[in-house]
Amino acid sequence: MVQSRSEPVLATLTLNPALDIQTGVDVVEPENKLRCDAPRQDAGGGGVNVARVIRRLGGRASCVLPLGGATGQSLQARLAAEGLDAVVIPIQGETRQSFTVLDRSRGAEFRFVLPGPRLGAAEFRAIELALEALQPCPDVLVVSGSLPAGLNPGRLTRLASRVRRRGVRLALDASGEGLQAGLEAGVWLVKPNLRELGACLGRDLPDRDSQLAAARGLVAAGRAEWVALSLGREGALLVSANFAGYAPALPITPVSTVGAGDSFLAGLAWELARGARPEAALATAVAAASATLMSPGSGMARSADIRRLRPRVRIEVLAGP
């Protein structure tokens, strides 16, 4: 779908992209050779997955990412095959792979995530320059995924601060030091899961009251304008200064969990950037995540599934303007 001039301009940054490889076997067991199905390969990494789903929602998001080696070339070819705009920063290291195996006997996925390359100072500076050169300047930049090995989290804090000074709204999905670094600078939207937010704050969040209080605390402290807290099978919370809402998870049987969180972020960031009401944005986010759970491997959400599931999402408004 062609993006109209009235639609927001989005970009994604994936600092540690991966070529996702998926296959299946009858049973995973030690010692014996495991005869696998023909593999499927997709471009992966948090921001890449976000851009893939935004496209299926009818929008566009440029992908900014460092790529290196033969694996990087394969990943770039898959971005082009999906019609995604890519701003590639060449690096010396080899882009990583991630490997997912479905054990059909148990209906269980085994996910093997290989380490990514280290980024040199000059390579990270090239990423910063590429972001500054984006034309048109994005309304929203989604930074999603793990940090490259050895990257000083302070670099992410400084990057987030520079982005915000340019008037770009930053949406962040990271864990550990990456989450802390982004929140230090202050972001427009942050999407931790329950474990990540608890670790960031140094305390357990066992019930809805404590979860709401934690999200509201981030907003009150100016660390985020919107907090989307993923609760896994229990659903999700969305909180701002003037809104709090809860969406229970849809009763579906997951086929694969790969990319579900990225799909949630894609739906939420896309709708909020367009000025949608928070209830509508949360409904689209849950529908996109659910559609991805129904898709095998890293195929991500199908447009038809998102449209079909969205009316089934129930939103409980806990606080409004």
* Neighbouring C-beta atoms of residue 172, cutoff 10 Å: 26
Does residue 268 lie within any of the structural domains? yes
Does residue 2 lie within any of the structural domains? no
| Whether residue 143 has pLDDT greater than 90 | yes
Sheet with 86-90: strands ordered across: 86-90, 61-67, 10-13, 140-144, 169-173, 187-190, 224-230, 236-239, 244-247, 316-319
| Whether residue 177 has pLDDT greater than 50 | yes
Q: Is 248 exposed, middle or buried (0-12, 13-18, 19+ CB in 10 A)?
A: middle
CATH of the domain at 261: 3.40.1190.20
Domain ranges, residue 187? 10-28+36-319
Does residue 108 lie within any of the structural domains? yes
CA–CA separation, 218 and 156 (whole Å): 18
Percent of the chain with pLDDT over 70: 98
Does residue 179 lie within any of the structural domains? yes
pLDDT single digits (tens) 201-226: 999 999 999 999 999 999 999 999 99
Output the pLDDT for position 319.
Answer: 80
CA–CA separation, 233 and 280 (whole Å): 20
Does residue 1 lie within any of the structural domains? no
Does residue 3 lie within any of the structural domains? no
Measure Cα distances from 265 to 132, 285, 296 in Å.
Answer: 23, 6, 19
pLDDT single digits (tens) 249-282: 999 888 888 889 999 999 999 999 999 999 999 9
**321 falls in which pLDDT band (50, 70, 90)?**
low
Residue with tokens 């851009």: 51
**Looking at residues 296-313, what average pLDDT do you find?**
90
From the list 239, 225, 229, the residue with the least C-alpha distance to 278 is 239
**With b meaning 16 or more CB within 10 Å and e meaning fewer, what string describes 129-168?**
ebbeebeeebbbbbbbbbbbeebebebbbebbeebbeeeb
Residue 281: CA atoms inside 13 Å, Cβ hemisphere, count?
24
| Residue 82 φ then ψ, to 5° | -90, 0
DSSP H helical ranges for the chain: 46-56, 69-81, 121-132, 153-165, 176-185, 194-201, 208-220, 260-273, 278-293, 303-309
Does residue 305 lie within any of the structural domains? yes
Output the pLDDT for position 6.
Answer: 64
**Looking at residues 129-136, what average pLDDT do you find?**
93
CA–CA separation, 196 and 193 (whole Å): 5
CA–CA separation, 170 and 180 (whole Å): 14
| Whether residue 291 has pLDDT greater than 70 | yes
Does residue 293 lie within any of the structural domains? yes
From the list 242, 220, 216, 221, the residue with the least C-alpha distance to 229 is 216
**Looking at residues 73-99, what average pLDDT do you find?**
95
Output the pLDDT for position 70.
Answer: 97
| Whether residue 67 has pLDDT greater than 50 | yes
Output the pLDDT for position 2.
Answer: 36
32-36 long-range contacts (CB < 8 A, ≥24 apart) are 34/101, 36/101
DSSP letters of 21-40?
EEEEES---SSS---PPPPE
**How many domains does the chain divide into?**
1
CA–CA separation, 307 and 312 (whole Å): 10
**1 falls in which pLDDT band (50, 70, 90)?**
very low
Output the pLDDT for position 149.
Answer: 86
Is 173 a known active-site residue?
no
| Whether residue 235 has pLDDT greater than 70 | yes
Which residue is catalytic, options 20, 42, 262, 305? Answer: 262
**Looking at residues 280-304, what average pLDDT do you find?**
91
CA–CA separation, 76 and 205 (whole Å): 40
**4 falls in which pLDDT band (50, 70, 90)?**
very low
From the list 313, 224, 301, the residue with the least C-alpha distance to 259 is 301
Length of the chain: 321
